[in-house]
Amino acid sequence: MAATRTMPLAPVRRRRSRLHWSEQRDGWLFFAPWLIGFLWFTAGPLLYSIYLLFVRWDFMNPPKWVGLDNFQKLANDELVGVSLYATSYYTFLAVPLQIAMALLLALALNQPLRGIRLFRAIFYIPSIVPAIAMAVTWVQIFNPTYGILNAAFRLVGLTDQRWLLFPASTRNIFILISLWTIGGQIIIFLAGLNGISQSLYEAATTDGAGTWQRFWHITLPLLSPTTFFNLIVGIIASFQVFTQAFVLTRGGPQNATLFFVLYIYDTAFVQFQMGYAAVLSWFLFLIILVFTIVQFRLAGRWVYYEVA
């Protein structure tokens, strides 16, 4: 009796085994394009960049092992400090301004007004315009010779300004340009605002809280996770600013806009020092990593998560 009971189970098990194998095969087939792309375009170059840390390679000659010479050069390179200062100046001014402006616009665009979706689209579109096209547009605006802004100044009797020829004004112009692409941050803030329960505002209003009190004690604390996300992403993006500086100034004037990624690019593809460029790249990665860890450590003091 036992044998006759187990006999029909064998074909069932074989069918289940074939079905399981078929599902495994299909899963790997769908997963394979991403895996191949990751290994070829991400993991492979990443591992190769670790090898480049210890060699001197100029594209034309075979890589030459130099040990820790590239790290010693990093410690003695004055342009590292210059580019870090330019990047830090941009980061510590642009990122807070981006978050503040994005929050204010999100509050304005969260009002139940007619045509508000059109205004949301208008503010978001600049953030998806190709970076090169955007940079060329700013060149046409701020060019000291034929720029649109100087032409407008001449129409009202004002003198031309050398917008991109002085270090201080050039840095501030880049901060102004960064505010043009805060559409993504606005959308994230809008999502955060829509996630706040209206019953909290109604209860606060009933207790006599004014507009500022509701904003300070309800909106800001409950938006703190969204603000934290925008802060982390904004800092990481600001340390990697490149396109605008490459098109507008190429690091000038007087290295005022020699941002760190632009310096890495010049080191790798202008000076052909691939090993040293790899050291600079990993150095930038460590800086971003440290800033991110510090932000996560400090988040417990001001980020509030809703507890169900």
Query: How confident is the model at residue 8, as a pLDDT?
Result: 59
Cβ partners under 8 Å of residue 257, min gap 6 = 86, 170, 171, 174, 245, 248, 249, 251
List, for the chain, all residue ranges whose pLDDT scores fall below the cut of 70.
Answer: 1-16, 307-308
- Asked if residues 56 and 71 have their Cβ atoms less than 8 Å apart, the reply is no
Query: How confident is the model at residue 158, as a pLDDT?
Result: 85
Contacts 24+ apart (CB under 8 A), 14-21: none
Angle between helices 69-76 and 274-302 (to 10 degrees): 60
Query: How confident is the model at residue 94, as a pLDDT?
Result: 96
Residues paired with residue 56 on neighbouring β-strands, in sequence order: 64
Could you give the 3-state DSSP secondary structure of residue 52? helix
DSSP states along 24-39:
HHHHHHHHHHHHHHHI
Structure tokens at 275: 């090993």
Structure tokens at 44: 């492979």
Query: How confident is the model at residue 22, as a pLDDT?
Result: 82
